[in-house]
Amino acid sequence: MLRRDVPRSAKRTAAPTPRDSARAARLDVYRRHVVDAAERVFAEHGFDAARLQDISRLAGLSMGTIYAVFPGKAELLQAILDDRGRELLTLVQDVVAAGRPPRETLQELSRAYIGYFVDHPAFLQLHLREGRAWIQAPTGGGDRRAAIWQAIHGLQESIFRQGIDQGLFVEEEPALLAKTFSALDQVVLADWVAGGMREDRATLVGRLQGLVTRTFARS
């Protein structure tokens, strides 16, 4: 039958129709599948060597479906780094929002970071392979990927600034300290990956906390 000429057009911008929300839900499921598969394939082969075919196969979805959800390969990587970056940002925001004293906050942050990456080993590998955004210059928000890391580092800087003001941390440019924190994080995790991911989470947390304390704490 011909499509009815929308007597419910009034609702159009109001509540979404069940059909629309179903559609949105389905697309969201696909999105997650695609992102998951892509994350793993990118992690294993690196972005350039990764083939969309493989992602399609791993996701159990056709090429067409992938392209229904993402405009292209680049945007797929973007989306992964974006999603994960946002999750990390939320994590940091939560930790910071708790309002604990600086040293404690740093310890919590270490625990949170390690926990997140241990929980998402594929992303960890991808992050170690392709995640150079945290070294990028503050470009004024032109690149979303970099923007998220700037937000993350911004929060970290605020902690460092606080700690420095209270005489708890070494006196050094907070921006550099934030990056150093990320670097220490990366060292511990990279070492873990390189060693075959054998240590458990607590060990890694302890290791990072140790490094962090020694690096930043004023004795």
Give least dist CB 184 to a copy of itself, A. 6
d(CA 133, CA 85): 10
Handedness of CA 214, 216, 115, 125 (dihedral sign): negative
Binding mask 72-101 for DNA (x = CB under 7 A): xxx---------------------------
Name 102's Cβ contacts closer than 8 Å, sequence gap at least 6: 159, 160, 162, 163, 166, 168, 169
Choose among DNA, a copy of itself, none what residue 129 binds, the Cβ cut-off being 5 to 8 Å by kind: a copy of itself
Give least dist CB 71 to DNA, A. 7
Give least dist CB 97 to a copy of itself, A. 26
Nearer to a copy of itself, 86 or 179 (CB): 179
Choose among DNA, a copy of itself, none what residue 14 binds, the Cβ cut-off being 5 to 8 Å by kind: none
Handedness of CA 82, 128, 201, 180 (dihedral sign): negative
Question: What count of Cα atoms within 13 Å lies in the side-chain half-sphere of residue 176?
Answer: 8
CA angle 73, 147, 118 (to 5 degrees): 70
DSSP sequence for 13-57:
GSSPPHHHHHHHHHHHHHHHHHHHHHHHHHHHH-TTT--HHHHHH
Choose among DNA, a copy of itself, none what residue 184 binds, the Cβ cut-off being 5 to 8 Å by kind: a copy of itself
Stretch that binds DNA, among 51-59, 85-93, 151-159, 185-193 (CB under 7 A): 51-59
Give least dist CB 29 to a copy of itself, A. 7
Q: Give the number of residues in contact with DNA, rule: CB under 7 A.
A: 24
Q: Does 63 bind DNA (CB under 7 A)?
A: yes
Nearer to a copy of itself, 2 or 10 (CB): 2
Q: Does 3 bind DNA (CB under 7 A)?
A: yes
d(CA 96, CA 150): 15
Nearer to DNA, 46 or 141 (CB): 46
Nearer to a copy of itself, 28 or 94 (CB): 28
Name 172's Cβ contacts closer than 8 Å, sequence gap at least 6: 164
Q: Does 142 bind DNA (CB under 7 A)?
A: no
CB 54 within 8 A of CB 93: no
State the residues that interact with DNA by CB under 7 A. Answer: 1-3, 19, 23, 26-27, 30, 49-53, 60-65, 67-68, 72-74
